[in-house]
Amino acid sequence: MPPSVTRAGEYEWEVPIGFVPKMRVPGRFFLSEHLESILESGAVHQLANVATMPGIIRYSLAMPDIHLGYGFPIGGVAAFSLDDGVISPGGVGFDINCGVRLFTTPLGEKDIEARRRDLIEALFQKVPTGVGGKSSTKVSDRILEQMMVKGAKYAVESGNGTERDLLRCEEGGFMKNADIHAVSSHARQRGYAQGGTLGSGNHFLEVQVVREIFDPSTAKAFGINLGQVCCMVHCGSRGLGHQTCTDHIKVLEAATKKYQISLPDRQLACAPLDSPEGKAYFGAMAAAANYAWANRQMITHASREIFAKTFSLEYADMPLVYDVTHNVAKIEEHLVEGKRMNVCVHRKGATRAFGPGSPDLPSDLAGIGQPVVIPGSMGTSSFILCGTAGAMEKTFGSTCHGAGRVMSRSAAKKKLSGKEVAADLLKKGILVRAHNDNAIADEAPDVYKPSDEVVGIVHNVGISRLVARLSPLGVIKG
């Protein structure tokens, strides 16, 4: 732990003002002693750097899966005042609205056992994955615009889901203030052929089984039962999102100079929220986020079709539990020093975890809290958590997003062969299907922090409550 970082609670650490020059607020992050050994000191510096940005409120925060990112650390949460605060693409990430969703089925593990290999193969054939993966149809300009404006709602209206899916999605499946004119021609050109594709890296589609229930009444309310087979989809806005981030970073670098904002790191490029440049980024980000929601909805539909065909299921038998984003900036109302006010919350590698009584919750969950889907790394457990009042109080309604890496990709490739990792996972009963061995070696379980440790910390700190644990049965990867 860097010197001068002090303990503020059993799993809470404070980075004091003065850790780097010109901090306006302290930093706060959540970590156990065990995970301390893999904490990158650079990530703590990044957390402190964010605390220097204009209009930041209360703390620069990071979740237990904290690690080095672009400007902001991954696992970072920062809220800015609408009056004198800024918006920054580094606080959102290149993969705008990288996120995850889970739908359930009425099947148990034994029901799928005989056809598990067929199921995984059919999913792999149906959902495009991998570097260079293109969808079977290129969308028109008009459809691309609909995806950017209406997100998952467009996908549902064009036959890829149900109205209920939208109720179980953050923002109802689309942010309302998308500005498609702020999305460049470069970004659109990348978006045409990638609708319904999974991408690569840590993105995946996983068939899972509910192995453990921690909170029976909440699990029941969420529609989750022990032994139930589920399907998890983890992916983002693809090339359209990456390009949108790249384009607006350039604009905001110039804006940083124009508005005379002094920053310790060029990658914190930003602009005042109410400036033309700030508004343009926000609008473009929302459009890219909507594209990602449309994308996840289309992949959900394709997966449901495979399940329906393979096991003679009805569409209505496979309801969506919830869809969360973990790379986004949103305008939300929070309690700040006793006053309710709208702030711009940036979450990069962090998930919204709204507590009971919060807006944007489906009516049947209003008294319980928001479902939070936490994907584990390949071959390890994923989790369902519930948002809490503690999150609203401590972290602007936020929690972790996943496990966080500990081993670099080059080290992974040298240490592990994809074939060995796949064979190892098969021994544990997990089928892996990918285009090539590197995709598997890169994402081997060893290269991540243990996901159960990360969710254990957020549970103990009270910013989300453990509800269920899911184990993988089969995964398709890019």
Partner 1 sequence: MSFEDLPHTADIRIRVRAPSMDDLFKDAADALMEVMYGKDRAGLDTTEVALESPDAESLLTDFLSELLFITDSKGVVIARADVSIDRFRLRAVLYTEPFDPARHSGGTEVKGISYTGMTVQQGSRGYSVEIVFDV
Per residue, the 3-state secondary structure of the chain, as one string, reads: CCCCCEECCCCEEEECCCCCCCCCCCEEEECCHHHHCCCCHHHHHHHHHHCCCCCEEEEEEEEEEEECCCCCCEEEEEEEECCCCEECHHHCCCCCCCEEEEEEEEEEHHHHHCCHHHHHHHHHHHCCCCCCCCCCCCCCHHHHHHHHHHHHHHHHHHHHCCHHHHHCEHHHHCCCCCCHHHCCHHHHHHHCCCCCCCCCCCCEEEEEEEEEECCHHHHHHHCCCCCEEEEEEEECCHHHHHHHHHHHHHHHHHHHHHCCCCCCCHHHCCEECCCHHHHHHHHHHHHHHHHHHHHHHHHHHHHHHHHHHHHCCCHHHCCEEEEEECEEEEEEEEEECCEEEEEEEEEECCEECCCCCCCCCCHHHCCCCCEEEECCCCCCCEEEEEECHHHHHHCCCEECCCCCECCCHHHHHHHCCHHHHHHHHHHCCCEEECCCHHHHHHCCHHHECCHHHHHHHHHHHCCEEEEEEEEEEEEEEC
Interface residue with partner 1 among 81, 158, 225, 246 (CB under 8 A) is 246
- Of 186-225, binders to partner 1 (CB under 8 A) are 186, 189-190, 193, 199-201
Considering the rule CB under 8 A, would residue 435 count as an interface residue with partner 1?
Answer: yes
Least Å distance, CB 241 to partner 1, is 8
Interface residue with partner 1 among 366, 409, 453, 456 (CB under 8 A) is 409
Instruction: Choose the catalytic residue: 248, 326, 401, 459.
Output: 401
C-beta of 49 vs 358, nearer to partner 1: 49
C-beta of 95 vs 165, nearer to partner 1: 95
Interface residue with partner 1 among 250, 258, 309, 428 (CB under 8 A) is 250
C-beta of 318 vs 440, nearer to partner 1: 440
Considering the rule CB under 8 A, would residue 313 count as an interface residue with partner 1?
Answer: no
- Of 325-354, binders to partner 1 (CB under 8 A) are none
Considering the rule CB under 8 A, would residue 267 count as an interface residue with partner 1?
Answer: yes
Interface residue with partner 1 among 5, 95, 151, 281 (CB under 8 A) is 95
Residues 46-85 vs partner 1: string with x where CB under 8 A? ---------------------xxxx---x-----------
Residues 438-457 vs partner 1: string with x where CB under 8 A? x---x---------------
Is 301 labeled as catalytic in the residue annotation?
Answer: no
Catalytic residues: 401
Q: Contact residues for partner 1 (CB under 8 A)?
A: 40, 67-70, 74, 94-95, 130-132, 134, 186, 189-190, 193, 199-201, 239, 242-243, 245-246, 250, 266-267, 404-411, 435-438, 442, 478
